Amino acid sequence: MKRVLVTGGAGFIGSHLCERLMARGDEVLCVDNFFTSRRQNIVHLRDNPLFEFMRHDITWPLYVEVDQIYNLACPASPVHYQFDPVQTTKTCVHGAINMLGLAKRLKVRILQSSTSEVYGDPAQHPQTESYWGNVNPIGPRACYDEAKRCAETLFFDYYRQHNMQIRVVRIFNTYGPRMHPNDGRVVSNFIVQALKGEPITLYGTGNQSRSFCYVDDLVTGMIAMMDQDELVGPVNLGNPGEFTILELATLVKELTGSSSEIVYQPLPQDDPVRRRPDISLAKAKLHWEPTIPLRDGLARTVAFFRELLAAG
């Protein structure tokens, strides 16, 4: 049994990670400040003796005793991270410094949840871990893109300077139950609009592409990365299946039985046109690849949102 700290543990991905760690017998200390996360995500865990919650903002130091650290804390959707861009940068950078300092004091392994956004609007397709990216450092998305890049820099500098046990994963578009209904991400947007019978909003032509990884697959990859002793990272974690946004909207309409019309809006500044991970490294070193097809994962996600909306 390990005592594991999960920052951002009440978030969409964090809550699934907490659940999985507890299912295998680990004690979990879930730390969150509820800036974008929801109490409902962890309410079913509260009475489990393996679960402990602490409300805390990781831009401030944290003094606890744990055996492993997963650092997931940060708003991850454009709507949320652009709401307070300075705080977003602080969460990524100050948060990384504080969590790395904690891991250094405790001499424990720490995993950083980085993002495919470090690749920006990529000139390489699909994206490999060796690609340095194409990021606008002063655009509206930079508070997230560049802050996550800086966090990676900090992790590798601590690794080289202090010989720390770091792990870095780059998470590509992930979806599933417990997504925030108002986070502005394409999957939750489309499903909520379809279930409400509202127009489904496509930005750009709809021909831009994304790769969608179901949250259960992602959590399996994160734990596999943390538990192995060979690979430091960064490692891409995502589903290499590539779909256009229009294909996603059409599939959501089918699964919801919605008659919503599809409307088009201008593409936001610096929004990537194509995004697909090369997961050769994860397959070779972690023996990991996604197993849940988009249709199956979306059906589960639609069921979650249908119940959420019905409850008001």
User: Does a structural domain hold residue 22?
Assistant: yes
- pLDDT per residue as tens digits for the range 218-237: 999 999 999 999 999 999 99
Pick left, alpha or beta for residue 25 (phi over 0 → left; psi -120 to 50 → alpha; otherwise beta): left
The CATH number assigned to the domain holding 60 equals 3.40.50.720
- pLDDT per residue as tens digits for the range 52-78: 999 999 999 999 999 999 999 998 767
Total tally of structural domains belonging to the chain: 1
Q: Which domain holds residue 140?
A: 3-176+212-240+276-291
Task: Place 284 in a pLDDT band, splitting at 50, 70 and 90.
Answer: very high
Report DSSP letters for 164-194, one per residue: --EEEEEE--EE-TT--TTS--HHHHHHHHH
- pLDDT per residue as tens digits for the range 132-153: 999 999 989 998 999 999 999 9
User: Does a structural domain hold residue 264?
Assistant: no
User: Does a structural domain hold residue 245?
Assistant: no
Whether residue 144 lies in the annotated active site = yes
**Helix (H, G, I), strand (E, B), or coil: what is residue 155?**
helix
Which position among 70, 81, 119, 144 bears the catalytic label?
Answer: 144
User: Does a structural domain hold residue 216?
Assistant: yes
Give the ranges where the chain is alpha helix by DSSP (H). 12-23, 78-81, 85-106, 142-162, 186-196, 215-227, 245-256, 280-281, 294-310
User: Does a structural domain hold residue 255?
Assistant: no
User: Does a structural domain hold residue 230?
Assistant: yes
* Per-residue confidence (pLDDT) for residue 63, from 0 to 100: 96
User: Does a structural domain hold residue 101?
Assistant: yes
User: Does a structural domain hold residue 24?
Assistant: yes
